[in-house]
Amino acid sequence: MISIMMFLASCVTPPAVIIPAYPAPQTQEDCMQLFVDVLAIQKKRSGAGDEMQRKTALFNKDEMGVRKYRKHWAEWLKAEESLRKRVTHIYDVGYEYGCFAYDIKVQ
């Protein structure tokens, strides 16, 4: 019975993440800011992933309980989803406005 409840609890998905609009790049400097923003988000994702790996190691060594681990995991997953969607949106904007082309379209 407990294993069924744990399985069902693991199937719960967090609510959808709303992505704020990213300003359309108008200049090469705007495109460079796009890269800066992507790198900042990726740095956050990396740090959060490292922290989650540390918590997973504690859990695997039985130094953290299941409930606490699942709470951390759910929080990490929600934050990761938000950051992933944000960075994907920024990439989409960059491609749409030619920031990744060899010959940049914006002035």
Per the domain annotation, does 105 fall within a domain?
no
SS3 for 66?
helix
Per the domain annotation, does 106 fall within a domain?
no
Structure tokens at 80: 């990761």
User: Long-range contacts made by residues 11-20, C-beta under 8 angstroms, separation at least 24?
Assistant: 14/74, 14/77, 14/78, 14/81, 17/78, 17/81, 17/82, 17/85, 19/85, 19/86, 19/89, 20/86
Mean pLDDT confidence for 30-53? 96
Mean pLDDT confidence for 16-26? 75
pLDDT of residue 8: 45
Per the domain annotation, does 8 fall within a domain?
yes
Domains of the chain: total: 1
DSSP per position, 28-56: HHHHHHHHHHHHHHHHHHHHHHHHHHHHH
Q: What angle do CA 92, 96, 97 make, to 5 degrees?
A: 120
Per the domain annotation, does 101 fall within a domain?
no
pLDDT tens, 76-89? 999 999 999 999 99
pLDDT tens, 55-72? 999 999 999 999 999 999
Per the domain annotation, does 89 fall within a domain?
yes
pLDDT of residue 22: 85
Residue that wins the pLDDT comparison between 31 and 1: 31
Per the domain annotation, does 41 fall within a domain?
yes
Report pTM. Answer: 0.73
Residue 2 has pLDDT above 70, yes or no: no
Per the domain annotation, does 107 fall within a domain?
no
Residue 30 has pLDDT above 90, yes or no: yes
Which domain does 66 fall in, by range?
Answer: 2-96
Per the domain annotation, does 34 fall within a domain?
yes
